[in-house]
Amino acid sequence: MGEHRDIRAVIFDIDGTLVDSFSAYWSVFNEGVKRFEREPVSKEALADCLKKGMGLGEIIRKVCLPPMEEGQVDRCKKEILDLFLTAEEEVVKLFPGVEVVFRSLKKKGLKIGIATGRMSLPEKEWERFRRFGLDKSIGAIVTSREVEGRKPAPDAIIECARRLNVPVDKCLVVGDTELDIVAARRAGAIPIAVTTGQEDEEVLAKAKPELVCNNLNGLFLIFGEKGSDEGRMERQTASNLEKR
């Protein structure tokens, strides 16, 4: 992995990568559809939709029976988003160790960016990271509402690298889904997968990221540094990937 030592920035996905948001999202999704007299959906069904990069409106149309009329879909989306905004402030937390990883990256002189599949307003994401005390560490945040294509399109990653003023091929891109890996490859960046989200580890490995890590600390293996004890599988996974 020595050929990747000239890394100048790390671009992170948010959900499932930096924050543990899925359980809260599942809970408010079911609360929202319940208000429209629809049955709750399983975690597995919702996770499958998210892995495919589906937006909230698409998910509602797919999983809610009987199907909602378009006006209902719009109202249901608003209900769920409002519930989730509250849940985020009260329930959704960073994964353990995120602050330490950010500090370590900054000490290395690396820029940090965020490229998310969320359709949220960028200022809402800046508010989130201010709440976490990480906003000063971040050089750019790009949400999918600012670019033409959502992941697996590379648009958000390319735009984030542009705002960081770093060539995209000098960027690590860290995400928890196959779509994150594909988007990073299409952008020309170096993809790193973490198993902290809902995606199956085998699916992540088949997408051929540079590394598959149990946690964010494992990404330091790309610099030839030891990851955490929990992340010891990453070296073996990386070796296996090169044989595929």
pLDDT value of position 239? 39
Sheet holding 190-194, edge to edge: 140-142, 111-115, 9-12, 171-175, 190-194, 211-213
Examine the domain organization and report whether 135 and 34 are in the same domain: no
pTM of the predicted protein model? 0.87
The Cα-based distances of 52 to 58, 141, 177 in angstroms read 11, 22, 9
Q: Are strands 111-115 and 171-175 parallel, antiparallel or unpaired?
A: unpaired
CA 7 from chain center: how many Å?
20
Examine the domain organization and report whether 99 and 215 are in the same domain: yes
Among 90, 113, 135, residue at a domain's last position = 90
- The residue segments making up the domain with residue 74 are 22-90
In the chain, the number of structural domains is 2
Place of tokens 């946690």: 215
pLDDT value of position 4? 55
Among 69, 90, 111, residue at a domain's last position = 90
pLDDT value of position 238? 43
Helices (H) and strands (E) in the chain, counts: 10, 6
Among 57, 73, 90, residue at a domain's last position = 90
Running DSSP on this structure, what letter comes out for residue 26? H
Examine the domain organization and report whether 116 and 130 are in the same domain: yes
CATH of the domain at 110: 3.40.50.1000
What are the average pLDDT values for consecutive 10-residue runs of the chain, which has 244 residues? 73 96 95 96 94 91 94 96 90 94 96 94 94 97 95 97 98 96 97 95 94 94 67 41 38
pLDDT value of position 229? 38
